Chains A and B, each alone.
Chain A
């Protein structure tokens, strides 16, 4: 892998600008019930069908913390190599909105459950550490639906009260590519842990993006703008590009950047001001008197730590060591837990290196074409391993293997059966091959003479003839060897 140099700068007329990015990722906690009530969190239910009296803030209703959500936050914190705080506090963040039934969101303000941590990114220019400022638990709001009726807004409270983890990064990101890698890494870690499904289409992972720019080499940060609630990596990248360019233009024109909250219009591909700092809400945070401070025993944290699965960074290291993969291959194969599980099953039964090559090539291309996750792969890991072994042993050639692969996808049959029934076995008998080659050479005496006279390009022609005659089944390596030997003679 070639080490490229980091090179993401906005070029203005007066110089190069570095883009400084920090993310506040909102990750939905994977849990059966909500953060403070027993309502289901299942996605896709009919509106207002998963709403308890607590979620809809009826008089006299009180929140009770869901222990599983607390454990999930601790697991995530541990996965981010972060400090778990034995003492944390739930606060009320007060504001009025139709989809916020309590009139406040229960969140954690001064004392979050998880403190500083870090995430490692593999960038083409080397590995980069991104600092985590904190992780806290909070309630999600409901959903306002403005387009169902011309004059009324409808409110769906199914989401109201679902647990979110807000993961705040330090302003350590410097390009849209790094943001892409960061989100993917966070998502991967949480999916390994089973703490968030990372499903961006269903809103399980969203982010507020803080962007500022500064002249290359400056050490002070510029004034930042916060782009609210962006729900795909692509949109985050587009928003950052637009916003950075906008800020550079302002600076170059001698104008001031206002610290403000902006939203990203995905149709127009631009960010727009939502509210300025002066109009910022005064959320009047104060500790929620309905909830006691959350005190965690060290034993609980230790037990959870012991029960954590192997995480991508560790697994990658092991793949390099145990399977002889290069860093790039290992990185790709650990990106999703399901992919790494599939690979390990294949690698157990076949050649480890060849398995990686074929998985990352044909298998991924096929899955990608069909829009399938590896868990839905039409080829089982066992069959895939048999295919890899058939290639490795020379039973079939790489070219034939591609055909076998196609048939496996369509039929779901195992490769042995396909190879046998279609007679696709590679011709690897030297005697048979020699016979075949002699026949070709005697039919093409003129070309043999030309070859011997120095027109070595004709070698390819002879190989082609062998393949044609064998129906593609001739073992290429043997064919080469025998051809060379006979043409010399």
Chain B
């Protein structure tokens, strides 16, 4: 049959069910793609032998009652995987092999899938271009020298380049949606607490959330259904009945009220982004949705708020990487303090250090009230903006990012312009809401652009449904030439 790896996850599952392809052949096809895509540097670790074993086991005793039958999956290297090295993109975990499996990946495996490899990412998920990884830049398959977005850059690159049928990332301030937007793929950040954080290397605990990255909305529903669920090991996990997102997927948006926030326009935003947004509004309107202008007045404070809250939590979350029990330990250092200093100096990269310093500063006595406490108050106001709007509307439509993918090195010396990439995505994390990035078009360079659908807490089904309708009527097709192989 034709190359199966460029099909959607749901089509691949159909083909497996119809015995048009075996799990082993499928796995081999992805391994071949991965081996010829080393240039993209999407993988930190591959687990081919183990994957082939699992595929063979599946083929011997196939079980198609599962959501992900015989599906090989590569995942972001932020998820701890049992007996497989887990680096979080950092030198400080360059030798770390967990003895445990994260809840989210375990859920995926319990649904019939297995691990193909671990995907590159920004160090500790801190970055918007995958340039902060200790394991090198990841290339966007859209074009040589283009960043794939971040922090889930290995995930977006591998997905767009057909190196995995679907994948998962984590999103603290846009780390799923921005790379999805940069690669013409679908990315969903679920409601905070829908997916367990247990076993995911923590960046900012109150914002981190794992989510699916896929080629289609239907795939996204399948993946979300597989990975989510209550976990008593995570105190912030939401205890609710599991949803059947894929079964309940409907493409009817008639009568739904879509909010258009006036604050999601920034200075110097390319005209193409505005045009894309207009295109999105038109599609939904033509499908029978009602567009409603709304205001989210505290949006402009979201980015500074985020860059206080996230580093504060990170500065504390990353204190455990001290060289004492696991991970990298500097050979230098005469005493405990010096060992800490050298280990952390050599183990962490610049961006991580920058955020640890910011976080330490904003929590310091004398600055706490002015920064951290104020940020927490603003966070409540941002959340309230959304809550107030959602009394009148079903979902919000915005651009995903203020630009398309940029060149490697273009923003590395200007952290603030790098941080501005997250301007449309961070408010959602601060409010704990679900949001979907949909591929919606390309700019004049031909680079993909995404639109964002924001839903009420736990309203994933609704934004998936809107996305599903949108996808069918948008006419976007990701034209990626395999220039790297």
Enumerate chain A interface residues (CB-CB to B < 8 A). 53, 56-65, 92, 94, 96-98, 101-104, 153, 155, 282, 284-286, 288-292
Contacts and interface: CB of A to CB of B under 8 A. Distances in A.
B83 to A, nearest CB: 14
B399 to A, nearest CB: 29
A284 B365 contact: yes
16 contacts: A53-B100, A58-B325, A59-B88, A60-B80, A60-B198, A60-B200, A60-B202, A62-B234, A98-B324, A101-B324, A103-B316, A103-B319, A284-B316, A289-B204, A289-B206, A290-B202
Given A101-B320, A103-B320, A292-B235, A59 B313 contact: no
Nearest to A97: B336
Given A58-B98, A103-B320, A64 B325 contact: no
Contact of B326 (A58, A97, A290): A58
A64 B324 contact: no
Contact of A284 (B200, B324, B360): B360
Contact of B236 (A58, A102, A155, A292): A292
A63 B100 CA distance: 16
A59 B202 CA distance: 7
A292 B318 CA distance: 20
A81 B152 CA distance: 53
Contacts of A102: 319-320
Contact of B320 (A59, A286, A291, A292): A59
Contacts of A56: 325
B199 interface: yes
Interface in B194-208: 197-202, 204-206
B377 interface: no
Given A62-B197, A65-B235, A290-B205, A284 B320 contact: no
A64 B340 contact: no
A290 B236 contact: yes
Nearest to A51: B325
A65 B233 CA distance: 10
Contacts of B93: 59
Given A286-B368, A289-B204, A60 B236 contact: no
B364 interface: yes
Interface residues of B, number: 43
Given A58-B326, A59-B88, A284-B363, A96 B102 contact: no
A96 B337 CA distance: 9
A286 B372 contact: yes
Interface in B202-226: 202, 204-206
Name, among A64, A102, A104, A286, the residue most crowded by chain B CB atoms within 10 Å (CB to CB).
A286
Contacts of A104: 316, 319
Interface of A is mostly: loop
B312 interface: yes
Contacts of B175: none
B96 interface: yes
Contacts of B340: 96
Interface in B127-149: none
Nearest to B88: A59
A155 B322 CA distance: 14
B232 interface: yes
B80 to A, nearest CB: 5
Contacts of A288: 205
Interface string B308-343: 000011011011101011100000000011001000
Closest 3 CB pairs of A and B: A103-B319, A289-B205, A284-B363
Contacts of B102: 60
A123 to B, nearest CB: 39
A286 B98 contact: no
Contacts of A92: 316
A56 B99 CA distance: 13
Given A59-B88, A60-B202, A282-B364, 20 more contacts: A57-B325, A58-B326, A59-B98, A59-B202, A60-B80, A60-B98, A61-B198, A63-B235, A94-B363, A96-B322, A98-B322, A101-B320, A103-B322, A284-B316, A284-B368, A286-B316, A289-B236, A290-B205, A290-B236, A291-B235
B89 to A, nearest CB: 12
Nearest to B124: A59
Name, among A63, A97, A284, A292, the residue most crowded by chain B CB atoms within 10 Å (CB to CB).
A284
Contact of A59 (B80, B206, B316, B365): B80
A402 to B, nearest CB: 60
A87 to B, nearest CB: 16
A195 to B, nearest CB: 23
A88 to B, nearest CB: 14
Contact of A60 (B199, B235, B312): B199
Name, among A60, A64, A153, A155, the residue most crowded by chain B CB atoms within 10 Å (CB to CB).
A60
Contacts of A64: 232-235
Contact of B86 (A57, A59, A282, A292): A59
A161 to B, nearest CB: 13
A96 B319 contact: yes
B196 to A, nearest CB: 9
B312 A58 contact: no
A283 to B, nearest CB: 8
A289 B236 CA distance: 9
A153 B336 contact: yes
A153 B98 CA distance: 25
Contacts of A290: 202, 205, 235-236
Given A58-B98, A62-B198, A286-B316, A101 B235 contact: no
